[in-house]
Amino acid sequence: MSKAILTIDDGPTTLTPSMIDYLKSKNIMPILFFYGHQLESHFEEGLYALQQGAIIGNHSYSHPNFNDLSYEECISEIEKQEALLDRLFQTAGIERTYKLFRFPYGAKGGKNKALIQQYLHEHGYNRVDDSQIDVKWYIDNEFNTDIDSLWTFDFMEYQLNNSTDFTFDSILHRIHDPNPETGAPLLEREINHIVLIHDHENTDKILPNYFEILIDYVIEEGVEFVPPRISVMKQ
């Protein structure tokens, strides 16, 4: 059975509270990477997730592709969202003991990559503990040393909303793919994953309850969701 940390990107939305309730019923602790536009418009839903014990990370303010931004624009995107997250924790009355960051689209800033990593390091960002992850693609790309958090399996279920060629069967195909182009096979035995799924209202309009359906499905197929650990930076 594979073990997976569950990460959920792009919230909060009106769906977030029901996702959180469902995960609590399954005893699954997620990491939610919120971005600013969503958090401003769905602050109460974000607050609920935090108060129910979810780990909350920074996914930028406006969800741009960082490869297309100047260094200063990248930092502004991170810091604007950081201020909103501070407000979220303050409102919840919960002390912030960690700072996590995930790039939108996993785009690490192109020519500014090293500078942004240095910024994250100097500003006390933490890593999701990925020391158990032994995926060749992940290690070959040095994602295991970057401070930001990537993933090793993406459901890509948001494509239901982008393309009529992409169907529920396409997601099942990805789940069962023994040889994916990126990441690692989800259902391979004894493999550790960071799994990515999204908090998108548009996907839920096309496939209602997609979140619960997909998580139920992979649990049935033998994926065990494990609680994330946050590690301090290796110096």
Residues that bind Zn ion (CB under 5 A): 9-10, 104
Nearest approach, Cβ of 43 to Zn ion (angstroms)?
Answer: 18
**Which residue minimizes CB distance to Zn ion?**
9
Nearest approach, Cβ of 129 to Zn ion (angstroms)?
Answer: 21
Closest CB to Zn ion among 64 and 104?
104
**Contacting residues for 221 by C-beta, under 8 A, at least 6 apart:** 175, 187
Closest CB to Zn ion among 34 and 125?
34
Closest CB to Zn ion among 9 and 45?
9
Nearest approach, Cβ of 94 to Zn ion (angstroms)?
Answer: 24
- Distance (Å, rounded) from C-alpha 80 to C-alpha 177? 38
Token pair of 10 as six digits:
């792009």
The angle, 0 to 180 degrees and rounded to 10, between the axes of the packed helices 43-51 and 16-25 is 10
The angle, 0 to 180 degrees and rounded to 10, between the axes of the packed helices 113-122 and 71-92 is 30
Closest CB to Zn ion among 69 and 191?
69
Nearest approach, Cβ of 93 to Zn ion (angstroms)?
Answer: 28
Closest CB to Zn ion among 57 and 185?
57
Nearest approach, Cβ of 109 to Zn ion (angstroms)?
Answer: 15
Token pair of 207 as six digits:
């496939």
